[in-house]
Chains A and B, each alone.
Chain A
Amino acid sequence: MKIINKFLLILLIITNVLIADDFSIDSLLNDIEKKTDLSEKTKLANAGVSFIYTRDDINRMQIKNFKDILKTIYPLGYNENKYGLPDPLSHGTNHPFLSTQIKVFIDNQEISTGLYGSGLFIMGDINIQWVDHIEVYTQAPTYEYATESTSALIKLYTKSAKKDEGGKIELATGSYGASHINTYHAKELDNKWSYFSFLSRDNNKRKKYFSNETEISRDVDRKLVVTTFNKDNQNILFTAMTQQRDGFLDISIDGSPETSVLEANYIHLGYDTKTDNISYLLTYDYMNTKTKMTDNVTPLAAFNYMYPAKLNETASHSNVFTGEVKYKTKVDKHNIMTGIKYRAKKYIYDKAEINGKAMRSSSNDLQTIATVFIEDQYALKENSIITAGGLYSFVRNNDSIQDDNMFMYRLGHTYTTEQLTFKTIASHTLMTLDSYLVNSSTFLANPRSYYKPQETDTILENIIYKENNNKYELILDYSIVKNYLVPNVQGKLDYNKQNVVMQGINSRWTHNYNKYDKFFIELGYREINNVLNIGKMKNYLTIVKNINTYKRFDIFNEILHTKDNIKKKDFYDYSAGVKYNYSEDFTISLKGINLLSKARTTTYRRANPANPQVQQTPLEISPIDKKIMLSMEYLF
């Protein structure tokens, strides 16, 4: 027996020596490049259900636009509203934005807008080649980030001089005559400050559709700047963009406007820093928008010549000031985080007219939100943590009865072993009206009434199992939503008569089948009960992804299958790409999105302008165009 043991030991030593000889610095550098990512440092383990896009995923899958990420986010997906704007929770009505619960952060700073809350309104379809990695937290994430009602929180982490010192330029062209150019430069300066600066110009030409023989378009011409300055724990973020968009359908009754344009300009400036225990944040967001739509229709006397819209013009500008102080401390087995946050949203409609008549009668133009929060992570054992958090939010509107005092809480338990993680989270969240909805006779069924905040109680279980090259994940959730707002027959928001009950199950399997290559599959089922005029909604989702590298080629394939019980149709969004790394500094890429032209469509309702009671066949248009892009990038 001893002889066998000795033999095995010698064999083990020989094997180790052989492996060690094979071990080269180049392959180790390659491992560092491919297998390390900053998300290991930024991800919050007890923050909620999370999904990470690593830098390597983003590179090899050629993820260049935010909507490439949004379309795979469970349980939301990507959708566009009647203005062609990113709005995953759109009801297909005239509301400019209904996805305020999806929050977008760049590094530590939330991107916000005065009228619509979430920065997704302005950022949901932008170029994201300035991003290092992305973290998506769903289902009531931690108050460390989200201090307003949040169903999904997306953190976009910028590249930095630490990893990307140097510069890059990329040119791309593709379907419909689309063209993109972007460049960045990053440098560590001698005074320990470093900067990263990204500029892009996207002439995003898109597929055209016809409605009642009129061409409708969602083209976007966008210029974007994202710049960060960092020193130790100090971060400055500056983002600016201008967008000239075709306004798609706007509020055209028959979905065929003669002209439709939308212009938006946006600036974000913010500073955040932290000491050992205290972190501070101060941000400012500015946005102005202008829309104009003309339609070849005759306004009807029965509607006081306000309807249907022959001319719709809006112009607005808004400012958001946000300040936050957070304090973290560790007392015995408690990790306590507490803080206060104040946000003021000031907004002005310079114009809001339909058929030349002013639509807006409310003088409400300021919403303030003061929030106090506390969260404690208590370690029962080293691998068993209880999280308990409470948040009190005071929402005030300056000329409205729509003032709310909202108490929210979340309780969670995380248990981990070497291979298993169990997360249980129960949460109670409240959501009040966005600024633009307060007292709005255009968008609310009862503009002068007080709207009770939407109240969501959720319980979820997230189980993760890791074994060798495999990671399995299961998410089960159950929610009851009170005071859920749905559009009535006029398309104005009113209470859903019953509580909406949602339940879902999602399972994911990631398999690393060799050193750098991986296969991913996700299966999901979601049921939404008691929705007005619909009853029960059932959604099925399947995502299959394969990413692999062969010699100098990075190849990916991805297919999204969706089906629901309303359209009862199978939708397939198949994307594929190949990237040829000619040298360390020069790369050529080819990417196709929705190659089968069978991606999920959105229904846009239309009516006869002469008799609005008579419905026309709705338009079925996918927010994801069939598109092929060729791009070249050069690092310098």
Chain B
Amino acid sequence: MKKILIIFVFFTTILNANNRYELKLYEKVLPFVFHKTPLIVFADKDANEILKYSKKFKIVTKCKKAVVILIGSDFLDIPDECKDKPIFSTSYRSFKNSENSFGAFYWRKGRPQIKFKNKVLEKYNLTLPNFLRKYAK
């Protein structure tokens, strides 16, 4: 029990407030869309900084077949195995431009936003839980 407390304190100290709230959001949303935990993800540098503290995500450094989802905005080289994987974008630009982006968390007009694209969700046979449906178009 003590160990758990120490680890908790350690992580809450390291993970700053920005990332802590963002991580809560990812944990609340993505496992419910994919019905899996831990989710095997390939993340860009910024997303990696946030997700590495979670037990609900397993981050891999090389994009392989086992990867369920890509999270981020800027992926330098995506191997062929991952080119058709669904993307959860972390920028409006990536959400708008990427054909595989089914959802996104980004800031716009100074406010955090969460959005989903119904068409892309259908393409991957993904179903949103009730509490997320109002964010889809």
**Set B16, B97, B114: member contacting A29, Cβ < 8 A:** B114
Q: Within the assembled complex, what's the spacing in Å between the Cα atoms of A418 and B113?
A: 32
Q: A25-B135, A188-B92, A188-B93 are in contact. Are A33 and B111 (CB under 8 A)?
A: yes
Verify A163–B107 contact, CB threshold 8 A. yes
Could you mark each residue 148-172 of chain A with 1 if its beta carbon is under 8 Å from any beta carbon of chain B, else 0? 0000000000010011111010000
Verify A192–B25 contact, CB threshold 8 A. no
User: Does B123 sit at the interface, judged by CB under 8 A?
Assistant: no
Could you mark each residue 27-39 of chain A with 1 if its beta carbon is under 8 Å from any beta carbon of chain B, else 0? 0110111011110
Q: Which residues of B contact A584 (CB under 8 A)?
A: 109, 111
Verify B25–A25 contact, CB threshold 8 A. yes
User: Does A276 sit at the interface, judged by CB under 8 A?
Assistant: no
Verify A166–B21 contact, CB threshold 8 A. no
Verify B28–A36 contact, CB threshold 8 A. no
Could you mark each residue 102-123 of chain B with 1 if its beta carbon is under 8 Å from any beta carbon of chain A, else 0? 0000111111111000000000
Q: Within the assembled complex, what's the spacing in Å between the Cα atoms of A159 and B93?
A: 17
User: Does A551 sit at the interface, judged by CB under 8 A?
Assistant: no
When C-beta atoms are compared, the residue in chain A nearest to B25 turns out to be A28
Q: Among residues 59 to 103 in chain B, which have CB atoms less than 8 Å away from a CB atom of chain A? A: 74, 91-93, 97
Q: Which residues of B contact A29 (CB under 8 A)?
A: 25, 111-114
Nearest CB of B to A429, in Å: 31
Verify B18–A38 contact, CB threshold 8 A. yes
Verify B28–A418 contact, CB threshold 8 A. no
Q: Which residues of B contact A37 (CB under 8 A)?
A: 17-18
Verify B110–A163 contact, CB threshold 8 A. yes
Verify A635–B109 contact, CB threshold 8 A. yes
Q: A25-B29, A40-B16 are in contact. Are A32 and B112 (CB under 8 A)?
A: yes
Verify A164–B110 contact, CB threshold 8 A. yes
Verify B17–A36 contact, CB threshold 8 A. yes
Q: Which residues of B contact A31 (CB under 8 A)?
A: 21
The total of chain B residues at the interface (CB under 8 A) is 28
Verify A635–B17 contact, CB threshold 8 A. no
Q: A28-B28, A188-B93, A418-B9 are in contact. Are A36 and B18 (CB under 8 A)?
A: yes
Q: Among residues 134 to 188 in chain A, which have CB atoms less than 8 Å away from a CB atom of chain B? A: 159, 162-166, 168, 188
Interface residues of A, dominant DSSP? mixed
Interface centre among A23, A29, A32, A192 (most CB of B within 10 A): A32
The total of chain A residues at the interface (CB under 8 A) is 31
Query: Could you count the A-B residue pairs with CB atoms below 8 Å apart for me: how many are there?
Result: 74
Interface residues of B, dominant DSSP? helix
Q: Within the assembled complex, what's the spacing in Å between the Cα atoms of A605 and B47?
A: 60
Verify B25–A33 contact, CB threshold 8 A. no
Q: Among residues 172 to 226 in chain A, which have CB atoms less than 8 Å away from a CB atom of chain B? A: 188-190, 192
When C-beta atoms are compared, the residue in chain A nearest to B112 turns out to be A32
**Set A32, A192, A585: member contacting B74, Cβ < 8 A:** A192
Q: Which residues of A contact B106 (CB under 8 A)?
A: 165
Verify B28–A23 contact, CB threshold 8 A. yes
Verify B16–A25 contact, CB threshold 8 A. no
User: Does A468 sit at the interface, judged by CB under 8 A?
Assistant: no
Q: Which residues of B contact A418 (CB under 8 A)?
A: 9, 13
Verify B91–A188 contact, CB threshold 8 A. yes
Q: Within the assembled complex, what's the spacing in Å between the Cα atoms of A23 and B32?
A: 14
Q: Among residues 1 to 15 in chain B, which have CB atoms less than 8 Å away from a CB atom of chain A? A: 9, 13
Q: Which residues of B contact A36 (CB under 8 A)?
A: 17-18, 21-22
Q: Which residues of A contact B97 (CB under 8 A)?
A: 190
User: Does A41 sit at the interface, judged by CB under 8 A?
Assistant: yes
Verify A166–B109 contact, CB threshold 8 A. yes
Nearest CB of B to A549, in Å: 15
Verify B107–A162 contact, CB threshold 8 A. yes
Verify A35–B109 contact, CB threshold 8 A. no
- Could you show 6 A-B contacts with beta carbons less than 8 Å apart? A23-B28, A36-B17, A36-B22, A165-B107, A188-B92, A190-B93
Closest 3 CB pairs of A and B: A163-B107, A36-B18, A166-B109
What residues make up the interface of B, taking CB atoms closer than 8 Å to A? 9, 13, 16-18, 21-22, 24-25, 28-29, 74, 91-93, 97, 106-114, 131-132, 135
What residues make up the interface of A, taking CB atoms closer than 8 Å to B? 23-25, 28-29, 31-33, 35-38, 40-41, 55, 159, 162-166, 168, 188-190, 192, 418, 584-585, 635-636
Q: A32-B112, A162-B91, A636-B109 are in contact. List 19 more A-B contacts (CB 8 A).
A: A24-B131, A25-B28, A25-B114, A29-B112, A29-B113, A29-B114, A32-B18, A33-B110, A33-B112, A36-B18, A55-B110, A162-B107, A163-B107, A164-B109, A165-B108, A190-B97, A418-B9, A584-B109, A585-B109
